[in-house]
Amino acid sequence: MSSTLEQKALEYHKAGTPGKVAIAVTKSVGSQDDLALAYSPGVAAPCMEIARDPALAYEYTAKGNLVAVITNGTAVLGLGNIGALAGKPVMEGKSILFKKFAGIDSFDIELDETDPDKLVEIIAAMHPTFGGINLEDIKAPECFYIERKLRERLSIPVFHDDQHGTAIVVGSGMLNAVELTGRNLADVKIVCSGAGAAAIACLELLVDIGARRENIFVCDSKGVLTKARNLTGEKADWAQDTTATTLSDVIAGADVFLGVSGPGVLSQADVQSMKKQPIVFTLANPEPELRPELVREVAPDAIIATGRSDYPNQINNALCFPYLFRAALDTGATTINQEMKRACVTALAGLARSDVRFGKDYVVPGLLDDRLLPTVTPKIAQAAIQSGVARKELGMTDYFERLEALGKHLL
């Protein structure tokens, strides 16, 4: 980060009221009568109704439009294990994105706890407050366990965005990149650098939408995941029976490079050894595995995506998580399931394809595209309803119009 940008960021966060979020009152409290309704004695009425029927909390409280953004600070952005408190600016930023793009309120919650079972207990105990839980910046492999346990226990959506958010946007971009280059996803050879939460989730989703596991080669910091390494856990699922040991060994003839690791991992020679019109997703942030301009020097026809906003094709989780939670909250979904994630992938891909800019420098929509909320969200909501996890039915025409109006207000 440049010193100029760093200073601007510090001034931005410090100016006026410190931080980036505050709480707004949504009802009139201008009179004694208002106060009697907002608090004692009037507040007893909704309390008793909710005690009688817990589902009424969605009608009488903010629960139905409130998401918890929770971290323990063990894997914050590209900064690593900097602790819960140091991760708070990121969580506040996430709250801004929820509000800006989907009109969803959220509380950022930073938990000073690294024991996975204790984290599960703490988060589960808080769930009555929220309509959904967004887990953020929790390191692997604990994040897999924590999300799984919470999903088993709770009847509200629990979503680890570092895994699934990244995977969804990668999936949408990959569908379009494959189409633009005349490939079939089932036939492409994919080489992935990285075997953490985001990488594993990306690979699982790519298989779900048509890629074949036997065509995917994964590398971690020690080299290729192979059967000979006797791996355990999630990594073992991606071990190949191969004598290749390095990224350079397996990338020859590959159609796709997916980087979810760190800077400098990919070389120009590696790119040259790939097939013509390579698909190169270098997503390490802020410094990618290989800079796009260096990829372009040796592969002018490559389709390149990064995690950065200063290059085309930014793979940004904000393209999906606001709309997934908006749809989940509006349908009263008990979970964000695979059908909803798949609907988000295809909706994002379709939105990019419908744009006149669709091409090698535009395989995913831009973050500020005002079509995202009214176009992507209803398709996710429909998937929730059709897959049986929704507790509410929605008229899609009315829902589209409501979201379109909300989007104009937000953007």
| CB of 109 closer than 8 Å to CB of 45 | no
| CB of 68 closer than 8 Å to CB of 134 | yes
285 is in an annotated binding site: yes
DSSP character at residue 137: S
Q: How far apart are CA 382 and CA 404, in angstroms?
A: 16
Report CA 5 to chain centroid distance, whole Å. Answer: 25
Count CA atoms within 13 Å of residue 220 on its CB side: 15
112 is in an annotated binding site: no
For tokens 């887990």, name the residue.
135
Q: How far apart are CA 73 and CA 75, in angstroms?
A: 6
Q: What are phi and psi of 240, to 5 degrees?
A: -105, 155
162 is in an annotated binding site: yes
316 is in an annotated binding site: yes
- Catalytic one of 12, 14, 39, 222: 39
State yes or no: is 94 an active-site residue.
Answer: yes
81 is in an annotated binding site: no
- Catalytic one of 94, 149, 189, 235: 94
State yes or no: is 399 an active-site residue.
Answer: no
| CB of 308 closer than 8 Å to CB of 285 | yes
Number of H helices, E strands in the chain: 17, 10
The end-to-end CA distance of the chain, in Å, is 28
Binding residue positions for (S)-malate: 285, 316
Binding residue positions for a divalent metal cation: 136-137, 162
Binding residue positions: 136-137, 162, 285, 316
Q: Which residues are catalytic?
A: 39, 94
